[in-house]
Amino acid sequence: MVKVIASILIVFGTVIFGIKKSDELKKRQNWLESFKTAINFIKDEIRYTYIPIPQLLTKITSFEQFKELLIFENCVEQLKNEKKFNIAWKLALDKTVSNVKLLNDDIYLAIAFGEGFGKSDVNNQLSLCERISNLLSCNIENAKSRYEKYSRLYKMLGLFSGIVVVIFII
Amino acid sequence: MNLNSGVSRYNEVTQYLSPRLSKTLGLIKDLYKSQIEEIRLRVNKNLSVTLPTGSKFVSLNGDLLENEQKGVKVSLDDINESLGYICNMSIYSHQNQIKKGYITVKGGHRAGVCGTAVLENEKIQNIRDITSINLRIAREIIGCSEEIYNSIFIDSLDGCLIISPPCGGKTTILRDLARTISNNGKKVAIVDERGEIGASYQGIIQNDIGQLTDLLDGYPKNLGIIYAIRSLNPDVIICDEVGDENDVLSIAEGLKTGVPIIMSAHSKCIEDLKNRNAIMNIIKMGAIKNIVLLNGANEPGKIKKIQRVGDLNWLK
């Protein structure tokens, strides 16, 4: 009886692990999609209101759809102690990466945005947003294909590795 | 203005500078802090401040020096970093102001900037490679316009021109006049093109401009005057630094509707106005009944002379 319960627990645990790995892929895709929407929102705000960064960040964090991004909320927090936006943004990104598994490509893009944001006139800022948005589209495609490719694989791997462990134990 | 208020206004301004400069300026004695009118940053030159008695250099331990030998040198990084803070890390949201050569910061303080002009069709499109920043500390002196109010406006509101050389306290007088007139039951509309009179920040007006005052913040004067007449039904309009031909047309519009305008202009004496075509046009159309000449930078906000336009011989 104990063996049966232990086997079920092991399989259950490895399946959960597989599902979690698969969810990480989905989470990355969702994060990139939301970040792209936020960049487009920023672009519109710059074009029509010229709103300065601190107010813009506060506005973004008030929208439910951008809450899961965390980076903007983290950045608002960091700006309370750090006057330079690019440094505050990097610190916020470090904090965000511990919650969402982003690839290096995604992190470089986010850093590039922080480095250029606020440092030039409207036209240059719009170009920056446009460029980041286009590059994000490529990353989103990559995230989608990774999810489609590996999501089932992780789940199946979780299941089968559990079964293999159980067979060995028995 | 008391010492504490002067020091706190000074401290408001120094927070916009790079930490190195801000720290040095923080070491200056409070007595001087309350008198400092400008903080000047020039690339590879020494940090200096302007007092009513003249310019002084600042040493590393906050002493004010006559000569620059022991002064703190301002680097290009200091300028760029300070510009970032002045623009609230958002150059794009201040680009129109940068084009005009100044940026107004929280508190109504003004940062004049100069560098290399980027021209397009003979118009300045941008200023790049900023080499100098001049931070002018805005002062709010409650009650400084009392003499003008009692002499000119106590019985009726008429058009008035306040003149002085730069740093003579014109904006301070206009701000206090708005407050006084408004608190005496008249509706005032301020067209605050440079954001120095009301010092609106994120929709909150930070200076006391009175209970019955509407603030048109950032509106160009010529448009703001028309907007105010159309939509706010003011008893008087106040605007800073007129002198453009476009302003003349709007003021004429105001004159037609019977709304008096109180305005200011740079000029060191009344006779000099003869050389200012736009202002002469405003005077000739009857929009100005009195001209107030201020003492100048040595005694900011103090009145030297109040002149009735009708008594000017050279106008007859």
Domain range summary for chain A, segments of one domain joined by +: 25-169
Crossing angle (nearest 10°) for helices B76-86 and B19-26 = 90
| Mean of pLDDT values over B216-226 | 91
pLDDT of residue A77: 93
Is B46 part of any domain?
yes
Residue B165 has pLDDT above 80, yes or no: yes
Same domain, B164 and B259: yes
Confidence label for A138 from pLDDT (cuts 50, 70 and 90): very high
Same domain, B18 and B128: yes
Same domain, B153 and B298: yes
Residue A41 has pLDDT above 90, yes or no: yes
Question: Cα(A109)–Cα(A98) distance, rounded to whole angstroms?
Answer: 17
Question: Cα(B232)–Cα(B13) distance, rounded to whole angstroms?
Answer: 33
Residue B1 has pLDDT above 70, yes or no: no
| Mean of pLDDT values over B12-24 | 94
The DSSP-derived string for chain B is --HHHHHHHHHHHHTTS-HHHHHHHHTS-HHHHTT--EEEEETTSB-EEEETTEEEEEBTTS-EESSSTTBPBPPHHHHHHHHHHHTTT-GGGGHHHHHHTEEE-TTS-EEEEEEEEEEETTEEEEEEEEEEEEEEPP---TTTTHHHIIIIITT----EEEEESTTSSHHHHHHHHHHHHHHTT--EEEEETTS-SS-EETTEE-S---TTEEEEET--HHHHHHHHHHHH--SEEEES----HHHHHHHHHHHHHT--EEEEEE-SSGGGGGG-HHHHHHHHTT--SEEEEE--TTSTT-EEEEEEGGG-GGG-
pLDDT of residue A22: 85
pLDDT of residue A90: 95
Q: Residue B126: closest CA among chain A residues belongs to which residue?
A: A121
Domain boundary among B81, B116, B136: B136
Same domain, B86 and B235: no
Interface predicted TM-score of the whole assembly (ipTM), two decimals: 0.74
Nearest beta carbon to residue A120 from set B81, B88, B91? B91
Q: What is the CATH number of the domain that holds B166?
A: 3.40.50.300
pLDDT of residue B290: 93
Distance from CA of A22 to the nearest CA of B (A): 39
Crossing angle (nearest 10°) for helices B245-257 and B221-232 = 20
Least-confidence region, from A65-69, A144-148, B300-304: B300-304
Please state, as a whole number, how many other Cβ atoms lie within 10 Å of the Cβ of residue A42.
Answer: 25
Distance from CA of B26 to the nearest CA of A (A): 18
pLDDT of residue B19: 93
Domain boundary among B136, B157, B178: B136
Question: What 8-state DSSP symbol labels residue A5?
Answer: H
| Mean of pLDDT values over B128-153 | 90
pLDDT of residue B33: 93
Residue type, A31: W
| Mean of pLDDT values over B253-269 | 89
Is B141 part of any domain?
no
Give me the residues of B, 73-112, that contact A with CB < 8 A.
81, 84-85, 87-95
| Mean of pLDDT values over B282-308 | 86
Distance from CA of A83 to the nearest CA of B (A): 8
Q: What is the CATH number of the domain that holds B106?
A: 3.30.450
Least-confidence region, from A80-89, A131-140, A148-157, B150-159: A148-157
Domain extent, residue B161, equals: 146-315
pLDDT of residue B2: 67
Size of the A and B interface in Cβ pairs below 8 Å = 47
How does pLDDT run across A42-75, given as a tens digit for each residue? Answer: 999 999 989 999 999 999 999 988 988 999 999 9
Question: Cα(A135)–Cα(A132) distance, rounded to whole angstroms?
Answer: 5
Domain boundary among B108, B136, B164: B136
Mean pLDDT of chain A: 90
Same domain, B97 and B190: no
pLDDT of residue A40: 95
In chain A, residues with a C-beta closer than 8 Å to the C-beta of B94 are 52
Mean pLDDT of chain B: 90
Same domain, B214 and B307: yes
Total domains, chain B? 2
A54/B84 Cβ within 8 A? no
Parallel, antiparallel, or unpaired for β B261-266 and B236-239? parallel
* Percent with pLDDT over 70 in chain A: 100
Confidence label for B300 from pLDDT (cuts 50, 70 and 90): low
How does pLDDT run across A24-33, given as a tens digit for each residue? Answer: 889 999 999 9
Higher-confidence position of A113 and B298 = A113
Same domain, B97 and B163: no
How does pLDDT run across B182-212, given as a tens digit for each residue? Answer: 999 999 999 998 888 998 877 888 889 999 9
CA neighbor of B137 nearest in space, from B268, B32, B262, B62: B32
Same domain, B185 and B280: yes
Is B186 part of any domain?
yes
Is B9 part of any domain?
yes
* Percent with pLDDT over 70 in chain B: 98
Same domain, B97 and B151: no
B204 strand-pairing partners: B201
Query: Tokens 């736009």 correspond to what residue?
Result: B278
* Percent with pLDDT over 90 in chain B: 53
| Mean of pLDDT values over B236-253 | 88
Same domain, B70 and B218: no
Same domain, B114 and B251: no
CA neighbor of B174 nearest in space, from B313, B292, B309, B4: B292
How does pLDDT run across B68-98, given as a tens digit for each residue? Answer: 778 899 999 999 999 999 998 899 988 888 9
* Percent with pLDDT over 90 in chain A: 55
Is B300 part of any domain?
yes
Same domain, B161 and B132: no
